[in-house]
Amino acid sequence: MVDDQWIGKLTHKGKMVVWRHQPLIANDPVQAWQGLLKARNLKEKDKFFTPALSDLPDPFLMQDMDLAASRLVRAIQKKEKIHVFGDFDCDGVSGTCVLVEALRAIGADVGYSIPHRVNDGHGIGMDALQSAMDTGAVVGLSVDTGTTCFEACDYAMLHGFDFIITDHHLPDKTLPRAFAILNPARDDCGFADRQLCGTGVAFFLLVAVWKQLGKQGQRPDYDLKQLLDRVAVATIADVMPLQGVNRVLVHFGLRQLKTAPSIGMSALMDTAKVNKNRISAETVAFYLAPRINAAGRMQHGEDAMRLLCCQDEQQAKRLALVLDGLNQERRKIESDTFKQATAKLKLAYGHTLAVYDQTWHAGVVGLVAGRLARQYGRPAAVGFVDTMQHIRVSLRGVCGFHVGNLLYMCSEYLDRFGGHAGAGGGTVKKEAWPGFVAAFDMAVQKQQAELKDQPQTLPIDGALSLQALHHGLASRLARFEPLGQGNPACVWLIHQVTIADFKKLKGGVCRLMLTDGQRFVPAVLFRHLGAESLLQQGLTVSLLGQLQKDTFRGAESIQFVIEDMLL
């Protein structure tokens, strides 16, 4: 095995190879696994590999939880009407479903509302609040929103409406005057390392309510564990770090999706052709979350809400098909808008990724911003024009930048805004657009200066010989699931191997056979690197990727999934 002379080298995708932890060079699977455990400061028997629901923290450690749970218990016992104010994305809809389903199951009088992306926008609208109060609701629960809804909270307090905020977005310098504010991002909180999504916060509120009812001898017969499938989907969709509390929630949520999903989630998996036995965080992110989000993006988030709360299998199938169709429409419009945005930026001759258009669809601007950010390697802001002729802008970032902080630095040009590290948005009046663009440019440059001389890197966990690519190692690597943000898959370098066979298959898939002259290992490339000439039979290459079990070819089969290659 060679030394680490390739550390610091550039890959075909322009990334610099670095060690993720300490150097690890292994010639056999045992050496690779033991070295990996040491590098990640883990042991075979660590709780990391055996998540347990008992590891979840006491919900009452969250700031304001005792106040919120007590008020909700009182509302349940007195049959007071409760209203849930959700959001239109996957996190907001999932959290709304979780609260409504659980509270109704124990006899609570619960209504809900989901805002329309264009007509209402993010946050708690005054019309929605007044409508809820007109129905007789006296307690409000927000999900994935509310931390910056000062007007709604002031109005609610003035009229004796007890607002309980459950949210995870960055708070302003001051908090709204709500009855209780459950938000781990509060300076005085920090629950679960501030990493929960909105649905996660709502779930812990339910756990606290169930505990309080149990102490009073009224233990609910509804098992909250059956909500974990939607908690997991929301956590993955909102790209939360899959560490600590989230790792536990997603682990058991994926198990729920495999064994006993809700009727709505089961229908969605069938429509998306997701194999329940092989579901992972990746399949949720690529196949389920986009379909749930498509409802709020293209039509109305209530379509997703109806599916997630559906109790009838036939109706669930019909609703899942609706979401699937909306997702197909979303993909087409997103592609067209991305091309138009790219053309506009080229005409502007500037380096600031901020652009809007009167004709663009509200549901895709965030996705287009994400694509621009990834393509150019810096944050992007893309907007549409709402019915008030204001520009609603969505921001997306890349690694190293903090979108929430960018928004604060542009706040003098924003009427309303909110966000976190990776994404956010706000409203800009047309006459303020040039000022916003200038402020956004300065904010990006300031953060970029802090990242100067830090090229984009590709961290690797180790360099392995083909002898180390063994089924036993692949099985142990699978124990790191669920993989995702904050818990990335292990990336390996295999140096100077020969391509013994190369075949192109349908759908852009390439199958390879790698050899070092002694051992042969199959490999697969699911997305072309744009360098097919460098991956031809007989060539010697250095590849980077993941070692996985090949479930399509038998229980003992493995494959090396190619992600990049050294130049």
- Model confidence band, residue 451 (pLDDT cutoffs 50, 70, 90): confident
pLDDT score, position 507: 75
174-205 per-position pLDDT tens digit: 999 999 999 999 999 999 999 999 999 999 99
Between 73 and 550, the more confident residue is 73
8 assigned to some structural domain: no
325 assigned to some structural domain: no
CB atoms < 10 A from the CB of 56, how many?
17
pLDDT score, position 91: 97
On whether both 285 and 360 belong to a single domain, the answer is: no
Is 361:384 a contact under the CB 8 Å cutoff? yes
Q: Which long-range contacts (CB under 8 A, 24 or more apart) does 345-350 make?
A: 345/372
141-164 per-position pLDDT tens digit: 999 999 989 999 999 999 999 999
- Model confidence band, residue 347 (pLDDT cutoffs 50, 70, 90): confident
Is 520:469 a contact under the CB 8 Å cutoff? no
79 assigned to some structural domain: yes
368-400 per-position pLDDT tens digit: 999 999 999 899 999 999 988 999 999 999 888
On whether both 62 and 41 belong to a single domain, the answer is: no
11 assigned to some structural domain: no
On whether both 485 and 422 belong to a single domain, the answer is: no
7 assigned to some structural domain: no
CATH code for position 370: 3.10.310.30
On whether both 62 and 185 belong to a single domain, the answer is: yes
On whether both 473 and 398 belong to a single domain, the answer is: no
112 assigned to some structural domain: yes
Please tell me whether residue 390 adopts helix, strand or coil conformation: strand
- What percent of the chain stands above pLDDT 90? 83
**Residue 544 bridge partners (DSSP):** 493, 564
On whether both 208 and 248 belong to a single domain, the answer is: yes
Is 201:182 a contact under the CB 8 Å cutoff? yes
Q: Which of these three, 404, 422, 450, is where a domain ends?
A: 450
b/e code 210-233 from CB counts within 10 Å (16+ = b): bbbbeeeeeebebebeebbbbbbb
pLDDT score, position 2: 46
On whether both 32 and 78 belong to a single domain, the answer is: no
5 assigned to some structural domain: no
Least confident of 198-207, 261-270, 284-293, 423-432: 423-432
Distances (CA, A) of 540 to 44, 376, 462, 463, 567: 36, 31, 20, 16, 12
Number of domains within the chain: 3
On whether both 75 and 37 belong to a single domain, the answer is: no
> In whole angstroms, what is the distance from residue 210 CA to residue 223 CA?
10
On whether both 401 and 477 belong to a single domain, the answer is: no
On whether both 26 and 76 belong to a single domain, the answer is: no
DSSP string of 369-384? HHHHHHHHTS-EEEEE
120 assigned to some structural domain: yes
On whether both 465 and 438 belong to a single domain, the answer is: no
The two tokens of residue 381 are 């802001």
Q: Which of these three, 406, 432, 450, is where a domain ends?
A: 450
Is 16:456 a contact under the CB 8 Å cutoff? yes
- Residue 550's domain comprises 16-48+457-565
Average pLDDT, the chain: 93
CATH code for position 76: 3.90.1640.30
User: In the predicted model, what is the mean pLDDT of residues 56-84?
Assistant: 98
On whether both 406 and 487 belong to a single domain, the answer is: no
CATH code for position 522: 2.40.50.140
